[in-house]
Amino acid sequence: MVGRFAQGQTTLPREYFVSPEIFAEESERIFAQSWICVGRASQLSSAGSYFLADILQQSIIVARDSFDCVQAYHNVCRHRGTQLCTEASGQFTGKIQCPYHMWTYSLSGDLTGAPNMKDVPGFDRSKYPLQKVSIAEWEGFLFLNLSQNPQPFEEFFQTLMNRFQSWRLSELQIAHTITYKVEANWKLIFQNYNECYHCPTVHPLLAKLTPYKSAMNHLDEGPFLGGPMQISLQGGSMTMDGLTCASVLSDEEKDLVHYYTLSPGMFLSLHPEYVLVHRLQRISPDQTRIICEWLFHPEEMKRPEFDPGPAIEFWDITNRQDWNVCELSQKGISSCAYIPGPYSNLESLLAAFDREYLHRMEKEY
């Protein structure tokens, strides 16, 4: 995507993509301090519904309480540390109970039952609630932050707060999900998403639907990067036949597709009639899990003729093409022959990503 010049920057050195030490440092300096998207509020349909989120190998219960508020707790009993939940999602029957010694918590996290503890001198149930994790909701997305003193969500997300109102994001629901495992460092996947220099070669179908030099970056510095690209076919979209597969969400945004990266773990692709979300989970320096979700308006999903297939197939093909070149990049960068190379002006957002990344890692270029 075209934006500010890359200012003579080169790609990052080899160790940033292969080093276990840098991977661990990223955990501490970036991922443990950031707001990480873990899902949608619509996944929690009623009081007691929950799903488990995993951040930095920490299991988190994300649940809707009896007051219709979404809460997040470490999946750890306050008695002897037993994991409370093992199922990826489910429904609590008005309480959260440890399977080991039956310590019981309300949906708001308060300890309400502790068998055989009433005779323990000084034991006070109010001192042993579930340990909370900071949680925030934005446009229907749920974000967690593991820090004890996180930067306020509204402050960190100020740039994006009202940017996407036309799409009615908070109303959308997940129509389909695909999970991928990519043998590449998470930063390579971020960088690949932020440029279309590769599109004519790697994505012939995508290149037909959007001119690869049509990008206009609204955000070109900081943790949020991206902007719109022109859709070639008037009234079209990013689908197998280039046509929209549902009613347009906003007339203001037709004929454009918007691509944004929300560092460090989310891509947001806004189409005229649907929204595509990529959520990245680091596994190791050279492995990344990617959860890809297609969001549509629920009224569209109720229609008998609703068929998201053309959008799903298009992006599944495109995703796999991207994962392939990211894996090739990982293999090449892992070689002792790799030397950092120069960015082109079509890769200005990659240079911006590197600047923000190094700033958060407290390292010099």
> Is residue 247 included in any domain, yes or no?
yes
Does one domain contain both 95 and 219? no
What pLDDT was estimated at residue 216?
81
What pLDDT was estimated at residue 6?
65
Task: Pick 314 or 255 by higher pLDDT.
Answer: 314
What's the CA gap between 89 and 50, in Å, rounded? 6
Does one domain contain both 52 and 132? yes
Q: What is the mean pLDDT of residues 291-295?
A: 98
CATH of the domain at 131: 2.102.10.10
* β-sheet with 111-113: strand ranges across: 96-97, 104-105, 111-113
What pLDDT was estimated at residue 217?
85
What's the CA gap between 139 and 324, in Å, rounded? 32
Does one domain contain both 264 and 184? yes
In DSSP terms, 242 is beta-bridged to none
Does one domain contain both 304 and 228? yes
pLDDT tens, residue by residue, 20-73: 999 999 999 999 999 999 999 999 999 999 999 999 999 999 999 999 999 999
Decide if pLDDT at 296 tops 70. Answer: yes
What's the CA gap between 337 and 306, in Å, rounded? 51
Please report where in the chains the tokens 């280039």 appear, as a residue: 242
Reported as type and span, the H/E element at residue 91 is strand 89-91
Q: Is the pTM higher than 0.85?
A: yes
Q: Is 321 helix (H, G, I), strand (E, B) or coil?
A: helix
Does one domain contain both 143 and 292? no
Percent of the chain residues topping a pLDDT of 70: 98
Q: What are phi and psi of 64, to 5 degrees?
A: -95, 125
Close Cβ partners of 21 (under 8 Å, ≥ 6 residues apart): none
Does one domain contain both 27 and 42? no
Q: State both tokens at 278.
A: 């990529």
pLDDT tens, residue by residue, 129-158: 999 999 999 999 999 999 999 999 999 999
What pLDDT was estimated at residue 2?
40
Task: Pick 154 or 4 by higher pLDDT.
Answer: 154
pLDDT tens, residue by residue, 221-266: 999 999 999 999 999 999 999 999 999 998 777 899 999 999 999 9
For the chain, what is the largest distance between any 2 Cα atoms, rounded to a whole number of angstroms? 74
> Is residue 49 included in any domain, yes or no?
yes
Does one domain contain both 26 and 84? no
pLDDT tens, residue by residue, 342-360: 999 889 999 999 999 999 9
Q: How, if at all, do strands 287-296 and 58-64 pair? A: unpaired
Q: What is the mean pLDDT of residues 111-116?
A: 97
What's the CA gap between 163 and 166, in Å, rounded? 8
What domain count does the chain have?
2
pLDDT tens, residue by residue, 206-219: 999 998 888 788 89
Does one domain contain both 70 and 192? no
What pLDDT was estimated at residue 252?
77
Does one domain contain both 244 and 274? yes
Task: Pick 324 or 4 by higher pLDDT.
Answer: 324
Q: CA torsion sign, 293 to 298 to 299 to 304?
A: positive
> Is residue 2 included in any domain, yes or no?
no
Percent of the chain residues topping a pLDDT of 90: 91
What pLDDT was estimated at residue 327?
98
What's the CA gap between 295 and 297, in Å, rounded? 7
| Secondary structure letter of residue 300 according to DSSP | H
Q: How confident is the model at residue 5 (pLDDT cuts 50, 70, 90)?
A: low
For the chain, the straight-line distance linking the first and the last C-alpha, in angstroms and rounded, comes to 22
Q: State both tokens at 118.
A: 């009433």
What pLDDT was estimated at residue 251?
79
Q: State both tokens at 78.
A: 């306050």
Reported as type and span, the H/E element at residue 281 is strand 275-284
Residues in the chain: 365
Check if the beta carbon of residue 21 is closer than 8 Å to that of residue 135.
no
Q: Which domain holds residue 150?
A: 36-154
